Amino acid sequence: MMSSEQRVASSEWGLRDRRRRGEVILIVFCVLISAFRLHAQQPSVLQSDGVIYNYGTIKILGDAAIAQDTILGIVSYERNNADSQMVSHNTYSDLRFSGVSVKKMLDASRPVEADSMFWSETPDVVIDLIPASWIRANRTVRHEGSINPGLRVGRFVLMGTENQDVSGQGSIPILELNNAQGATITRAGGLQIVERLDLQVGTMSNTAADNIAMQDGAWIWRDDDGFLANEPVWNNRYHLRYYGDAPMLQGNEAVRNTTAIGKLIQDDLAGLTMTHDVTVNDSLRLQGHIFTEESDAVRHELSFSPTFDPEYVNWWPEVNGTLVRTTLVLNQTQRMNSHFTTISFTSFANSQGQPVTRYAVRSKPKTVPLPLTDITFKVERFLQLEARNAAGDVVPDSSGWDLTFGYTWRNREIDPIETPAVIETIPQLVGQEADLVLMRYDPISQLSYNEYGLHQNKTTATGNPLEAWRFGTTELVKANGDFAIGLSTGPIWVLNTRLLMEGPLRTYGENFTPTMATDLATRGLIPSTPPDIYPYNLDPDRATVIAPAIGDTVVDWVTVEFRTSPTSSAQPLLVETLLLLNDGRVVDPFTLRPAIIADIPAGQYNIAVRHRNHLAVITEDKVLVSRSNIGYVVDFASGVGVFGGAAAQKLVGTANGQRHFGLIAGEVEGADDLRRSDYNLVWNDRNTEAYTLFDTDLNGIVTTRDLNVSWNNRERTSVAPR
């Protein structure tokens, strides 16, 4: 009798033998049936409801219907008659096709899957794949045949877990890459993509020698996790679509050739950033933004050739950066960077004989128009307009061409797509949106933006959800340059002032440092709102003046008045309560920048400065308060142009050979002159530590030094009328 070990060994040997014999029998069976079919002209079928153990090669010459899930070894479909061969939908280790019989894959319930190798061996191989099914390859692909020739349906999916080797010159309607490890085109590969290359996950590594060939009218789809290493080969023209839910950088799927790309669809709601110039020749559809600039220093352009318009789905997307229309139509409104940004040329003429044939709009949302020194109240959108000739050169201003420009900006967010961060209407313009106009930066004076063109329509918000956009049109646009959308009746001037006060100066004489002490700020004594005392109560808006923080460079509150005469006691046209900094600048308490003047008409004014315990000062000469004079500095510290001359202030020292003057300290009773009564008031408040009038040197405590300051300046009088 055999031992148990011998019985097991015998059983295993028998199984291996049966498997080997099964393989041989299967091959012979197929050959015999095929031979019979050749003789009897009856279809032959490999019908298997059991299990086929294959470690060699199965050659199928007829139809196949195999019930098991996975077949090992090599399975080769080789029927070579002018008819068809049914392919069983299974997972094959190594799947190969040869012969002219059409290989039919008609099972909608599951794909045909090749785990190790998929190989259509010759160009004669034709695969008929129904749209509801698909082919999956997990490793190597050698494809020389055709899938669904003449049709644009039929998916072939690269879906392995390691980098896949792909080669061949065959055609595939739809090739999908869904493999984080990617796929590499090898062996002078040149797969022909009929309908689309869908880059879902992973990198398709291609080179000029081993490439993907996009057929005329084919698409490249790109998710945010899919990539193409290098530019593809294309036949005539192909199309692009981007989709996904994460920000995406444009890659080599978009060739640089200006005639190759037909349609471009941007469906990624998180946005697409371009990395090089792109020209779209057929159509442009945006469901998410396109950013043409990687940074302010790295800019690209999106050119659009058709005469019809780009489509902005649900109105909210836009081209953030530069869009160029390369085919212009006279007297036709043509859409530019957004649904509401438009141009309409009334003349292309150019006196130099090179008419306008292209037009570029650079639109930068959520961007303060440059230069930042301009004071006009503007929405946070910067525009640059440029007319170009056929060679791409800029056509000079006022050379005969003109157009109507439709401008727009974001006034509300659209839920749930956006947040309030997209709003470009600044707080100063809320409620005045209908009065905003197109403005152009003056390149000659280089001082400010001024109202430009003839405004055909006031800005409106009708026709779009939640007033998300405001828009208007301006005729007679005849110039290139920087543009903005702003309030033409807004700010007129910036108060650039230099002022010293005697009290907080700690050094005097020659070669002194013209910097004032900030003891009050250091001690935390300066109130965030100026107190209801003279001169701050001259400002009717005093109670609304608030400093968010009193920094360590702040000396104290002062008032600035705009008057029509240096001697008239008439009410000033404007009083501003501002902060004096230790270097002599007078600034807006909220921004700590030079104050913007907006509440008086442009004109010439005498400017006065007052402080609670120093004598006031006023300019002798009128100052032009206008956008044309924005850079002017009212320098009281120099003593020049001050009404009353040197006697109106106190010489506090010299530095670098220049004399410096400061407001005279010690006036505490509000009489605009210094008397013994001022001295007495200081004496009566001695040793007080507070924000008080009687602290004439502004160190936070009333001492004998404050007495001396007031006494030494007795009989001095203010020259600035109340």
374-403 pLDDT, tens digit each: 878 899 999 999 999 999 999 999 889 999
Least reliable range by pLDDT among 24-38, 136-150, 250-264: 24-38
Closest CA to 177 of 166, 168, 188: 166
Residue type, position 4, single letter: S
165: which strand partners? 184
Check whether 510 has a pLDDT greater than 60: yes
User: In the block, which residue shows the tokens 């507070």?
Assistant: 690
pLDDT of residue 513: 86
The band of 465, judged by pLDDT with boundaries at 50, 70 and 90, is: low
Give the total residue count for the chain.
722
pLDDT in tens, 565-578: 999 989 999 999 99
Q: Which residues of 267-302 are buried (b: 16+ CB within 10 A; e: fewer)?
A: bbbebbbbeebbbbbebbbbbbbbbbbbeeeeebbb
Residue 369, classed as helix, strand or coil, is coil
Task: Count the alpha carbons within 13 Å of 529 in the hemisphere toward its beta carbon.
Answer: 9
Q: What contacts 24+ positions apart, CB below 8 Å, involve 85-93?
A: 85/60, 86/45, 87/112, 87/127, 88/46, 88/64, 89/133, 90/66, 91/115, 93/117
| Interacting residues of 617 by C-beta distance below 8 A, sequence separation 6+ | 608, 609, 636, 642, 643, 648, 649, 663, 718, 719, 720
Count Cβ atoms below 10 Å from residue 658 Cβ, excluding itself. 11
Could you tell me the CA-to-CA distances from 9 to 4, 17, 52, 377 in Å, in that order?
Answer: 9, 12, 22, 94
- CA–CA gap between residue 178 and residue 138 (Å, rounded): 10
Does the CA dihedral 519-523-528-534 come out positive or negative? Answer: negative
250 Cβ contact list (under 8 Å, min separation 6): 272, 273, 274, 275, 276, 278
Per residue in 56-103, pLDDT (tens digit) is 999 999 999 999 999 999 999 999 988 999 999 999 999 999 999 999
C-beta of residue 499 within 8 angstroms of C-beta of residue 637? yes
Q: Which pLDDT score, from 0 to 100, does residue 5 have?
A: 42
Nearest Cα to Cα of residue 580 among 490, 698, 483, 685: 698
Work out the pLDDT band at 43, boundaries 50, 70, 90. low
Mean pLDDT within 37-64: 80
In DSSP notation, 182-231 reads -EEE-TT-EEEEEEEEEEEEEEEE--SSSEEEEPTT-EEEEEEEEEESSP
Taking only the tens place, the pLDDT of each residue in 182-196 is 999 999 888 999 999
In three-state secondary structure terms, 449 is strand
- Please give the Cα distance from 229 to 184 (Å, whole number): 10
Name the token pair of 704: 């004998």
The pLDDT of residue 368 is 94
Tokens for 400? 């005969």
Does position 461 have pLDDT exceeding 90, yes or no? no
Structure tokens at 149: 């020739």
Is residue 274 pLDDT above 90, yes or no?
yes
Predicted pLDDT of residue 9:
37
The DSSP string of 244-294 is -SS-EE--TTS-S-TTTEEEEEE--TT-EE-SS-EEESSEEEESS-EE-BS
Residues 224-235: tens digit of each pLDDT: 999 999 999 999
Q: What is the DSSP string of 293-358?
A: BSSSSSB-EEEE--SS--EEGGG---EEEEEEE-S--TT--EE-SSTT-EEEEEE---TTS----E
Within 10 Å of residue 7's Cβ, how many Cβ atoms? 11
Residue 458 has what pLDDT? 64
Residue 120's pLDDT is what? 98
* pLDDT score, position 635: 96
Long-range contacts, stretch 703-707, CB < 8 angstroms, 24+ apart? 706/666, 706/682, 707/679, 707/682, 707/683
- Which residues 6+ apart lie within 8 Å of 46 measured at CB? 26, 29, 30, 33, 60, 62, 63, 64, 65, 66, 88
Residue showing tokens 């959308």: 485
pLDDT bucket at 40, cuts 50 / 70 / 90: very low
Buried b (16+ CB within 10 A) or exposed e, 96-133: bbbbebbbbbebeeebbbbbbbbbbbeeebbbbbeeeb
| Helix, coil or strand: residue 5 | helix
- 0.75 cut: is pTM over it? no
Please state, in angstroms and rounded to a whole number, the distance separating the CA atoms of residues 635 and 655.
Answer: 15
The predicted pLDDT at position 38 comes to: 34
Let me know: does 303 contact 279? Beta carbons within 8 Å.
yes
pLDDT at position 373 is 77
Give residue 27's pLDDT band: very low, low, confident or very high (50, 70, 90). very low
> Hey, what are 588's tokens?
């807006």
Residue owning tokens 């190594």: 94
How far apart are the C-alpha atoms of 689 and 675, rounded to whole Å? 23
Q: What is the 3-state secondary structure (H, E, C) of 58-97?
A: EEECCEEEECCCEEEEEEEECCCCCCEEECCCCEEEEEEE
Query: Is 516 in contact with 584 (CB distance < 8 Å)?
Result: yes
Q: What pLDDT was estimated at residue 602?
A: 83
Tell me what the mean pLDDT of segment 354-380 comes to.
Answer: 92
Q: Where are the domains of the chain?
A: 1-137, 309-320+328-359+371-382+398-490, 493-712
Give tens-digit pLDDT for 428-454.
Answer: 899 999 889 999 998 877 778 888 998
* Three-state secondary-structure class, residue 607: strand
- 466 pLDDT band, cuts 50/70/90, is low
CA-CA distances (angstroms) from residue 643 to 97, 104, 487, 630, 716? 102, 101, 35, 22, 14
> Which amino acid is located at 341 in the chain?
T
Mean pLDDT of the chain: 91
- How far is residue 74 from each of residues 93, 533, 611, measured CA to CA in Å? 7, 99, 98
Share of the chain above pLDDT 70, in %: 93
More confident residue, 236 or 511: 236
Residue whose entry in the numeric block shows the structure tokens 């009404």: 643
pLDDT in tens, 311-335: 999 889 999 999 999 999 999 999 9
Is the Cβ–Cβ distance between 91 and 111 less than 8 Å?
A: no
**266 vs 44: which has the higher pLDDT:** 266
**Which residue from 617, 591, 611 is spatially nearest to 520, judged by alpha carbons?**
611
Are 284 and 264 in contact, with CB atoms under 8 Å apart? yes
Cα dist. 558→227, 544, 599, 699 in Å? 62, 15, 18, 16
Distance CA 228, CA 206 (A): 7
Radius of gyration of the chain from its Cα atoms, rounded to whole angstroms: 41
Residue of higher predicted confidence among 43 and 338: 338
Tokens of 597: 């003047």
Q: Is the separation of the CB atoms in 292 and 318 below 8 Å?
A: no
CB-CB neighbours of 520 under 10 Å: 21
- What's the confidence (pLDDT) of residue 490? 75
Give tens-digit pLDDT for 664-701. 999 999 888 999 999 999 999 999 999 999 999 999 99
CA-closest candidate to residue 506, choices 498, 517, 496:
517
User: Is residue 462 predicted with pLDDT exceeding 80?
Assistant: no
